[in-house]
Amino acid sequence: MASLLLSLSSIVFIIFSLQFMFIPPTFSTSRRLINNHVINDHETGFRVSLKHVDSGKNLTKFERLQRGVMRGNLRLQRLINNMMMTTTSTDHSSSQVISPVHAGNGEFLMNLAIGTPPSTYSAIMDTGSDLIWTQCKPCTKCFDAPTPIFDPKKSSTFTKALCTDNLCLELPNSDCGTDGCEYLYSYGDYSSTQGVLATETFTFNNVSIKEVGFGCGEDNEGDGFNQGGGLVGLRRGPLSLVSQLKTSVFSYCLTSINDDTSENSESSLILGSLLPQLSNKTKVFTTPLIKNPSNPSFYYISLVGITVGNVDLPIKNSTFAIGLDGSGGMIIDSGTTITILEESAFRMVKKEFVAQTKLNVDNSGSTGLDLCFELPADDGSGQISIEIPKLVFHFDGASLDLDGENYMIGDAKSGLVCLAMGGSNAGISIFGNVQQQNMMVVHDLEKETLSFIPTQCDKL
């Protein structure tokens, strides 16, 4: 059993909002211009800070929780749609083009600048999609955003992509129009961005990168995009920022919100090799990154078992395997809040937590989470200490023994503590960002590995 100490003054739900802001990088103190897009070591790597999309909105714990769960459900549906429609196809009987769908939205924002002179805007970081895009003038349809709409006419480095350019040819749905390469990029729930593909100088704090391909969206529709002015895709596909930088390594480190300072703490995205101070870390959990041939851009990891307390759950070997049709498997995703397990596996997890947790189950359904317990009464000390079962995720080559704050969240006002996990009968599983907090999550695309390094993320 593990102890979870909950302070009555600071219990918060782990549905948090990080909004990308820039912090001085530890790599260099001078402005750099990168022409060849290669980010492959600590001399050329850079860091960007992150904040959650609901940060600073004065929401209650339940409001943050409900918003996070709703976004997670929407994202899951988008991922399911992606599994069902993975390639561009044409219905010859109706001449209707069917475009692939992508995850879309996310939980974290970053600030960056586009153009010369640079124009700053905020963007949603999305490890579930590829395209980099922002809203552009003239807009036929644009949503309200926290930063101004980009005006290409005010930049001396804006160039429209040709229809024969490689990035144009990589678009899932494009057309050669009077403006050059025109695109439509959809997110599976009537959300989409449509406009022209272009190249521009992108600036990340003091690092400027020439000729980054991005979508200049003039018709942008859908829910959830108004947290930022666009998206930055970090998947494996050729359109993503990771691919365009030709970096073999990128990482993120998400801070915990289980303390009073969480609202102002900064998470980090690192493009390039790890920060030097992480080189002496001895506790590293590494598992292979695997590819789903039907969905090669997503980051899949191989979950082979789960332990609750001292009980190894009798989960079938096929439960988390990728099927021959591309279904199933587990995706690691920074844009999904809580971990979603295949339904039969989640039922086993839930059953063991109920059996091993010496608290009354709450059946009100008020939190939007599947399993909650009633907290005991305060003994007058201002803190509540409860015993919860240990939770271990067994990945291929690495067993991740999670801290209590990575899977149990509590709210003193409501008198509840909840398991930050859920189930889905869609087959696919997602390892969410609550389970990843206070760990450096390292994607090494050359070695095809993913590593978890326990790290105090707000101290980087």
Average pLDDT over residues 392-401: 97
Residues 9 and 38 reside in one and the same domain: no
Tell which of 218, 253, 288 closes a domain: 253
CA angle 391, 420, 335 (to 5 degrees): 110
Examine the domain organization and report whether 49 and 125 are in the same domain: yes
Q: What is the pLDDT of residue 7?
A: 47
Identify the active-site residue in 54, 130, 333, 362. 333
**Res 8: pLDDT:** 42
- 294 and 146 in a single domain? The answer is no
Distances (CA, A) of 451 to 391, 415, 447: 18, 36, 11
**332, 299: one domain:** yes
Contact 358, 351 (CB under 8 A): no
pLDDT band at 234 (very low <50, low <70, confident <90, very high): very high
Q: Output the pTM of the full model.
A: 0.85
Q: Which of 41, 54, 91, 126 is catalytic?
A: 126
- The yes-or-no verdict on residue 163 having pLDDT over 50 is yes
210 versus 102: the higher-pLDDT residue is 210
Examine residue 312 and state whether it is found in any structural domain, yes or no: yes
Query: What's the pLDDT at 17?
Result: 30
- Position 396 in a domain: yes
Question: Does residue 355 fall inside a structural domain?
Answer: yes
Q: Note whether residue 102 is domain-resident.
A: yes
Read off the pLDDT band of 87 (50, 70, 90): very low
Q: Which of 221, 253, 285 is the last residue of a domain?
A: 253
Are residues 145 and 222 located together in one domain of the fold? yes
**Same structural domain, 56 and 176:** yes
Average of per-residue pLDDT across 413-438 = 90
Reported confidence tier of residue 84, pLDDT bands at 50, 70, 90: low
pLDDT at residue number 297: 86
Peptide bond before 276: cis, by omega within 30 degrees of 0? no
DSSP3 helix / strand / coil % (the chain, rounded to 5): 15, 40, 45
pLDDT at residue 97 is higher than 90 = no
Query: Are 10 and 25 in the same domain?
Result: no
Confidence tier at 41 by pLDDT (50, 70, 90): very low
Helix (H, G, I), strand (E, B) or coil at 409: strand
pLDDT bin (cut points 50, 70, 90) of residue 89 is: very low
CA distance 456 to 460: 7
Look at residue 447 and tell me if it is in a domain: yes
Residue 15 has pLDDT above 50, yes or no: no
Q: Give the span between the Cα atoms of 97 and 396, in whole angstroms.
A: 39
User: What CATH number does the domain containing 376 carry?
Assistant: 2.40.70.10
Q: Is residue 261 part of a domain?
A: no
Residue 306: give the domain boundaries: 2-14+276-459
What Cα–Cα distance (Å) separates residue 127 from each residue in 224, 250, 333, 416? 16, 11, 6, 31
Structural domain count, the chain? 2
Residues 324 and 437 in one domain: yes
The pLDDT tens digits for 105-155 are 678 888 899 999 999 988 889 888 899 999 999 988 888 887 889 999 999
pLDDT of 5 higher than 50: yes
H-type helices in 96-246, by residue range? 166-170, 241-244
151 is catalytic: no
- pLDDT at position 362 is 94
Quick one: what percent of the chain has pLDDT higher than 90? 46
- The rounded mean pLDDT for the chain is 81
Q: Is residue 262 part of a domain?
A: no
Q: Is 126 a catalytic residue?
A: yes
Look at residue 259 and tell me if it is in a domain. no
| Range of lowest pLDDT (90-104, 144-158, 198-212, 396-410) | 90-104
Domain boundary among 238, 253, 268: 253
Please report, for residues 153, 332, 391, 393, 440, the alpha-carbon distance to residue 435 in angstroms, rounded to integers and kept in the order given: 44, 10, 11, 10, 12
* pLDDT tens sequence across 300-335: 999 999 999 999 999 998 999 999 888 899 999 988
Pair (292, 233) in one structural domain: no
24 and 9 assigned to the same domain: no
Tell me which residue of 411, 408, 435 sits closest to 11, measured CA to CA: 411
Whether residue 49 sits in one domain with residue 10:
no
Residues 10 and 68 grouped into a single domain: no
